[in-house]
Amino acid sequence: MAADSLLRGAARAFSGPPLALTAVTTLAVAIGGAAGMFGVPLLLIGAAWTWTYAFLLVEATAHGLPPPVLAIEDTNPWREPRPLLQLVALGATASLVWWLGQQFGTVLAAAVGVATLLALPASVALLAIDGDPWRAASPPALVRVAVGIGARYFGILALGAGYAALLVVLAPRLPSIVLLIAAQLLIYSLATALGAALHARRHQLGLDAVRAPERDAAREARSAENLRAAMAEELYGLMRARHPEVAWARASAWLERDGREPATYRWLRDRALMWGETRFADRLVEDLVARLIALGRRGEALEEVEACWRRGGRYAPADSRDRDALESVARALGRAAALERLRAERAAAR
């Protein structure tokens, strides 16, 4: 039963997004190889994408999700540092093995090297589902993961050894491009097999608690920030081209889709002020104040109006009831200056 589930997990890499990414990276590496020294960046990109995607496959499969599509933000080591951390750890271990061989002979160096290979699946699993590099290098944590996976851990090791032996046997007999495709798919297969083993033993490993929802929240926040930046760039271009009404229509539609969140209004108002578009910022303040009043946050609404005045802006609400609400809260809070100005502007607007 355990072997069947492990093999089913390993087979997930041979369809869908893994195949598509394999085609893309193989093309990139082929072009890079043909370009000589100028193609080195493409070779590095292909290797980085393959290694990064293997981590994402472990994580997705461990949580019972289908193979993901590699997103551009996941290829940035500042946003997705786990693959780079694993490479650094492997490089440090290789250096240690070499030093031990120089200082104490091959027996100790070989023992450390073998122990590292045996612990590698547990280390990748910890880094993929937890993200903590210290735990991924902690012997007690590695042992707990290996024991938690149980017999499937030996299956992962055997599968990895079998894949490596297969590549060694096929290397002299296959064209390099075919060997490259096979190597990528076998790496992905090993990743999905490891993820499947983690999923099968998720209760023993406490995987639901280890999932680190803060990482999901961080990704969602990055996605939202990217959308904001794209919208701000579009609005800035429209205003530079002297199409303020088109810009306002786009901004209003976007704010509506976002649920008219006050934080989004403030973010966009601050951007408009940075661009020197004070009238656009004033219109945002008018809508923001109306929204805060509708939410019952009248004190915040009055503070927004006062801040607008302090920077030299103009507050001219379309609905007189908003001004009524502000006068009421200014009176209740003892803001005499604000109350007086609100009344004066009401009289001037008549």
From the list 222, 237, 224, the residue with the least C-alpha distance to 264 is 224
Judged against a pLDDT cut of 80, whether residue 211 lies above it is answered with no
pLDDT tens string 36-94: 777 788 888 888 888 888 888 888 888 778 888 876 666 666 566 777 777 777 788 88
pLDDT tens, 297-328?
999 999 999 999 999 988 888 788 888 899 89
Mean pLDDT lowest among 29-43, 178-192, 203-217, 234-248: 203-217
- Helix (H) or strand (E) segment spanning residue 286: helix 278-294
**Of 279, 276, 289, nearest in space to 318 by CA:** 289
Whether the per-residue pLDDT at 215 is higher than 60: the answer is: no
**Whole-number pLDDT of residue 213:** 47
CA-wise closest residue to 283 among 254, 314, 255: 314
State residue 306's pLDDT score. Answer: 92
- pLDDT tens digit string along 235-292? 888 888 888 899 889 888 888 888 889 988 999 999 989 988 999 999 999 999 999 9
Distance CA 89, CA 224 (A): 32
According to the model, what pLDDT value does residue 152 have? 86
pLDDT digits (tens, 9 = 90+) for 3-41: 666 778 788 888 888 888 889 888 888 888 887 777 788
Q: Which two tokens stand for residue 87?
A: 């490479």
Asked if the model's pLDDT at residue 233 lies above 50, the reply is: yes
168 C-beta neighbours (distance < 10 Å), count: 9
pLDDT averaged over every residue in the chain: 82
Is 313:282 a contact under the CB 8 Å cutoff? yes
- Has residue 218 got a pLDDT over 60? no
Closest CA to 207 of 125, 267, 142: 125
Q: Are 61 and 200 in contact (CB under 8 A)?
A: no
The tokens for 53 are: 């995607």
Q: What is the DSSP string of 23-67?
A: HHHHHHHHHHHHTGGGGHHHHHHHHHHHHHHHHHHHHHHHTTPPP
* CB 11 within 8 Å of CB 189: yes
The per-residue pLDDT for range 125-167, each reduced to its tens digit, is 887 777 667 777 778 888 888 888 888 888 888 988 898 899 8
